[in-house]
Amino acid sequence: MSSFHKFKHFVFGKPIHARHAHHERLSVPFGLAVFASDALSSVAYATEEVLLVLILAGSLAAYGVLPIIAVCLAVLLVIIAFSYYQTIHAYPESGGTYIVSTDNLGPYAGQLAGAAILIDYVLTVAVSISAGAQAVVSLAPQLQPYTVPMACGAVGILCLMNLRGAKESGIVFAIPTYGFVILILILIGKSLFTGITSPAVVPQLPAWDGNQLHTLGGFLLLRAFAASCTALTGTEALADGVKAFKPPESKNASKALVMMVTLLTTMFIGLSWAAWHSGIVPIESGTEGYRTVIAQLAEQQFGPGFMTSAIMIMTAAILFLAANTAYADFPRLASFVARDGYLPRQLGTVGDRLVFQNGIILLSFIAIGLIIKFNADTHSLIPLYALGVFVAFTLSQAGMFRYFRKRRWMVLKRKDLEADDEHPTASPRERNRAARKFAIQSYVSGFGAVVTFCVGIILIYTKWEERIWIVIIAMAILMTIFNLISRYYKSLAKKLTVTRADHLPEIKPTTLLLVPRMHKGILLPIQYAKAMSPDARAIHVALGKESAKRIKEDWNNFGVEMPLIILDSPYRSIIQPILDYVDHVRSMDAKRVVTVIVPQAVPKHWWQGLLHNNAAILLKLALGTRRNVVITNIRYFIEGEQENQ
């Protein structure tokens, strides 16, 4: 098996995932790189989305709302991050939102949160990879016809990387993250300088969106704001990763949070302003000569040389990294959902390579489906994107609100405080202070819930025509599946419950050892069969007269003390005669449990396995609903090779 193992190791590697298996704690800069790449990368597409809405206003007046939007965004970021931080503090085990919602708002809220986040992970991959492909196309327009294949290929690479379980270090995150941030800041700086030294360019408004020009009314403003909300996806990652920071954890994480908010808003407002000031308007993707806004801006400022290339490459890199984060989170969340019986139970053992890999393959398939369906076009994908995050935010904040209210009530009513290790004693004064603290925390969470709920409504309202209902339907379908699965498991548990009437059955074991011919590989199985049961018999299915004669001789010559039974097979089947004999043995006594032992060769190379019978598989398939029959493989090794565990 060694070459098979080598092959397996080459393809799948060792199971390590940097994001959730940090043995070393992260410093602030590295922590920021690891947990903020997802959020920071979103400026690559969020800016473009906002500009896209604003050009509909068709006048420079729209320019004025950019600071407003940026401020809203920054405030929202801080609210979400802070209130999320509270959550992490109360529920230190990861899997945050889903567990908070389930615990405090009941199973349906939990299911909704789970569905929303799982969908959002898929969209993270689809959106980030599509945006990355668009960045590449901006750099090399001749690749435009290959946008979709490129994006699918990138998902394929991510999938393989994660199947291998590539070991990621902080530095892998730091280079694209800081590279992207620094280059974007330079781009903004240069634009600013050019902007100050030269007058604003009046943009040539293109024939976008059927040239329907709107006045900058409330709806457009909301739409612009909604578009900017995609920049908030990925925020939860930082709060989720507090424990990975060097001590003092929360202080360091807060520093990283402040830095992230600063960088995100700076880049967002800077890019928007620069683009607008330079008369750059988004181009409809699929158009001849398509380039992203960042690409247009970079080319305007630096020409089509090194800097522009560097900016686009770093953009693609950070987006690839952002997509990668979903690969660690998707199987992990699925495992929490599975543990509650809403998804197949085996997904719960995420520590098992194959299970983890199933999650990765599933995620890749759905993401590729979305990319193909939406033509790797971020403009059509992004409207679907942010809702899941806001549903999850709202549920987790609402859950935390209830959690803190309950705590406060418990403290005031002098109820038991044992669940809260921070307040073991309870003098009236301390109790009041505790209650006040819980009250404040509940206000923060409650406010966060209301804000994110409102944003969610705005998203649904403004993006309805951009097919945001697809996400709502997807959530409903996923919740239905959760419930069907849960119902099945519950009815199963009921059926299998042990009652007082149940007792251990009496059994009489019989062992049948399949002997194709006398060889070294069956010496251990002979002993195994004899040890298993006093009624052990060797079985040979004779496809020809010669083989029967030969095995009889060999058997007697070797002197095995076990009856050898020869079964004829007129139709040259190996399975039917065995099944018939098994039925014959079982028919003698209802307590009889028959074990068929099939020696199985383990060859040196995996392809040699194709040359070895494994009757056990055929027997198992043929077994049907026969009860009290067990098929067992005993392996023997053809090459006397080292054990390799």
Give the footprint of its own copies on residues 313-342 (CB under 8 A). 335, 339
What does each C-alpha distance from 40 to 378, 390, 514 come to in angstroms? 17, 18, 63
Q: How far is CA 148 from the centre of its chain?
A: 22
Binding to its own copies (CB under 8 A): which residues in 35-74? none
Segment near its own copies (CB under 8 A), from 38-46, 252-260, 283-291, 608-616?
Answer: 608-616
> Does position 587 bind its own copies by CB under 8 A?
no
Binding to its own copies (CB under 8 A): which residues in 520-579? 520-521, 523-524, 526-528, 531-533, 543-544, 554, 558, 560, 569, 571-576, 579
Pick the binder of its own copies from 288, 422, 465, 506 (CB under 8 A): 506
Q: Which two tokens stand for residue 293?
A: 């806004």
Query: Measured from the CB atom, is 21 or 201 closer to its own copies?
Result: 21
* Best CA proximity match to 11, nearest among 175, 163, 176, 172: 163
Binding to its own copies (CB under 8 A): which residues in 619-638? 620-628, 630-635, 637-638
Contact in structure between 614 and 633 (CB atoms under 8 Å): yes
Query: Measured from the CB atom, is 185 or 485 closer to its own copies?
Result: 485
* Best CA proximity match to 448, nearest among 95, 100, 125: 100
* Best CA proximity match to 117, nearest among 102, 130, 104: 102
Query: Measured from the CB atom, is 180 or 356 closer to its own copies?
Result: 356
* Best CA proximity match to 364, nearest among 168, 126, 10: 126
Pick the binder of its own copies from 425, 429, 505, 545 (CB under 8 A): 505
What's the min distance (Å) between Cβ of 586 and its own copies? Answer: 10
Residues in CB range of 45: below 8 A, 6 or more apart: 127, 131, 230, 378, 382
What's the min distance (Å) between Cβ of 362 and its own copies? Answer: 12
Question: Could you give the CA distance from residue 221 to residue 60 in angstroms, rounded to a whole number?
Answer: 14
Query: Measured from the CB atom, is 111 or 462 closer to its own copies?
Result: 111
* Best CA proximity match to 516, nearest among 558, 557, 566: 566
Question: Where would I find the H helices in 340-377?
Answer: 353-373
Question: Could you give the CA distance from residue 232 to residue 264 in angstroms, rounded to a whole number?
Answer: 9
Pick the binder of its own copies from 133, 316, 350, 360 (CB under 8 A): 350
The amino acid that residue 371 corresponds to is I
> Does position 431 bind its own copies by CB under 8 A?
no
Give the DSSP per-residue string, 382-437.
HHHHHHHHHHHHHHHHHHHHHHHHHHHHHHHTT---TT-TT--S--HHHHHHHHHH
Segment near its own copies (CB under 8 A), from 126-134, 173-181, 233-241, 512-520?
Answer: 512-520
What's the min distance (Å) between Cβ of 532 and its own copies? Answer: 5
Question: Could you give the CA distance from residue 381 to residue 319 in angstroms, rounded to a whole number?
Answer: 15
Binding to its own copies (CB under 8 A): which residues in 194-233? none
Q: How far is CA 461 from the centre of its chain?
A: 28
Query: Measured from the CB atom, is 453 or 528 closer to its own copies?
Result: 528
What's the min distance (Å) between Cβ of 644 and its own copies? Answer: 5
What's the min distance (Å) between Cβ of 445 and its own copies? Answer: 27
What does each C-alpha distance from 536 to 214, 301, 505, 520, 594 come to in angstroms? 87, 85, 21, 19, 10
Pick the binder of its own copies from 346, 432, 480, 556 (CB under 8 A): 346
Binding to its own copies (CB under 8 A): which residues in 449-488? 485, 488
What's the min distance (Å) between Cβ of 489 and its own copies? Answer: 7
What's the min distance (Å) between Cβ of 513 and its own copies? Answer: 12
Query: Measured from the CB atom, is 309 or 633 closer to its own copies?
Result: 633
Query: Measured from the CB atom, is 353 or 467 closer to its own copies?
Result: 353
Q: Which helix (H) or strand (E) holds 460?
A: helix 428-463
Helix 96-105 / helix 65-90 crossing angle, nearest 10 deg? 70
Question: Could you give the CA distance from residue 165 to residue 168 in angstroms, rounded to a whole number?
Answer: 9
Query: Measured from the CB atom, is 255 or 508 closer to its own copies?
Result: 508
> Does position 504 bind its own copies by CB under 8 A?
yes
What's the min distance (Å) between Cβ of 562 and its own copies? Answer: 10
Query: Measured from the CB atom, is 202 or 504 closer to its own copies?
Result: 504
Radius of gyration in angstroms for the set of CA atoms belonging to the chain, rounded to a whole number: 32
Residues in contact with its own copies, total (CB under 8 A)? 91
What's the min distance (Å) between Cβ of 2 and its own copies? Answer: 7
Query: Measured from the CB atom, is 315 or 510 closer to its own copies?
Result: 510
Query: Measured from the CB atom, is 313 or 601 closer to its own copies?
Result: 601
What's the min distance (Å) between Cβ of 350 and its own copies? Answer: 5
Binding to its own copies (CB under 8 A): which residues in 483-502? 485, 488-489, 492-493, 495-498, 502
Binding to its own copies (CB under 8 A): which residues in 233-292? none
Q: Which helix (H) or strand (E) holds 595?
A: strand 592-602
Query: Measured from the CB atom, is 78 or 618 closer to its own copies?
Result: 618
Contact in structure between 91 and 243 (CB atoms under 8 Å): no
Query: Measured from the CB atom, is 265 or 632 closer to its own copies?
Result: 632
